[in-house]
């Protein structure tokens, strides 16, 4: 029995991929969220074997008849379950809410199913704002200097692109030779949104050095290859970055590939005086509010701003 099969979810996947342009990773996350939601509904509506392990409950019989029974309190009960039993954090519950909203939007608006939409009044969980983790300039240089070994040119080019261009992991592993055009790379990002990123000298030099030693006897179109001349997987790149993070004496529990993207954004904003609109285009963010989290202000910057106030040195003295 295929525990993941469900006709409604298959139809939703087709719609979100072909029309909305959702990325494969988002589709996987949404499907997992909705599978959990469907299992919760079966338990709540007493449609599942009470002795069955939650994650083994089949969802192939969850159809429109079941979905039409769902009320707003049912959805809030699911989100409460996600918090108390699955230890979901705010951002995960927010994604689950988005997945459920997309399901009901598809059913009630796209295919015009005659039913109530309980998500119209569904509030989105608030996510606490956190400053992103990033490397300082010195730490970034230490990471670059830590690169060595058999795949020196390849690994240095990868980390240089992460730290200078702020590209996503999937964007790097999907980069093809045809996407490199002189001093520009063509990126296909989230939702198949395309953008071009201008390469600086460091990126051009490390890419040229890698391409000079990249295996020529292969028809694989992807830029970064493994020893077996196959495209590097996301997991392989993550492991490689972790190895150099440790070698540089940095905290591997906090510094991941995505944190290198945070670092690129922070360094561009802090040292390059890049405005937020330009940064949004470079990073490929649909919403500028997403970009704003990278423009965090350091304590020293706040202090300096206070001292730069033209009234800072005024001494009013004492009135007689």
User: Which residues carry out catalysis?
Assistant: 168, 190, 258, 261, 285, 294
Cβ neighbors of 18 (< 8 A, separation 6 or more) are none
The β-bridge relationship of strands 194-198 and 180-181 is unpaired
Angle at 28 between CA 14 and CA 107, to 5 degrees: 40
Where do the H-state alpha helices sit in the chain? 7-18, 24-44, 64-67, 72-84, 90-105, 137-146, 152-165, 169-173, 201-213, 234-247, 257-271, 276-283, 288-292, 299-307
Query: Which class for 40: exposed (0-12), middle (13-18), buried (19 or more C-beta within 10 A)?
Result: buried
Give dist(CA 26, CA 170) in Å, integer: 12
Strand partners, 176: 222
């Amino acid at each position: 029995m295929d525990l993941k099969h469900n006709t409604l979810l298959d139809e939703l996947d087709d719609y979100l991929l072909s029309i909305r342009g959702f990325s494969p990773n988002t589709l996987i996350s949404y499907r997992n969220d909705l599978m959990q939601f469907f299992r919760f509904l079966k338990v709540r509506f007493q449609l599942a074997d009470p002795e069955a392990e939650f994650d083994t409950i089949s969802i192939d019989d969850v159809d429109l008849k079941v979905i039409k029974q769902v009320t707003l309190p049912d959805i809030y009960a699911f989100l409460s379950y996600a918090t108390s039993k699955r230890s979901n954090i705010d951002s995960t519950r927010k994604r689950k809410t988005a997945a459920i909203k997309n399901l009901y939007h598809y059913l009630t608006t796209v295919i015009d199913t005659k039913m109530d939409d309980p998500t119209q009044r569904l509030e989105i969980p608030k996510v606490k704002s956190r400053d992103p983790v990033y490397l300082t300039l010195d730490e970034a240089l230490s990471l670059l200097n830590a690169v060595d070994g058999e795949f020196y040119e390849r690994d240095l080019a990868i980390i240089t692109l992460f730290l200078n261009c702020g590209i996503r992991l999937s964007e790097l592993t999907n980069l093809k030779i045809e996407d490199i055009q002189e001093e520009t790379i063509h990126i296909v990002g989230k939702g198949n949104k395309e953008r071009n990123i201008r390469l600086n000298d460091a990126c051009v030099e490390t890419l040229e050095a890698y391409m000079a030693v990249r295996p020529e006897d292969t028809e694989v179109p992807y830029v970064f290859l493994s020893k077996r001349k196959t495209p590097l997987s996301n997991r392989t790149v993550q492991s490689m970055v972790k190895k150099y993070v440790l070698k540089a004496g940095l905290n591997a529990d906090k510094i991941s590939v995505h944190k290198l993207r945070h670092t690129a954004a922070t360094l561009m904003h802090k040292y390059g005086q890049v405005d937020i609109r330009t940064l949004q285009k470079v990073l490929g963010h649909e919403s500028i509010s997403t970009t704003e989290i990278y423009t965090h202000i350091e304590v020293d910057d706040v202090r300096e701003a206070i001292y730069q106030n033209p009234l800072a040195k005024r001494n009013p003295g004492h009135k007689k």
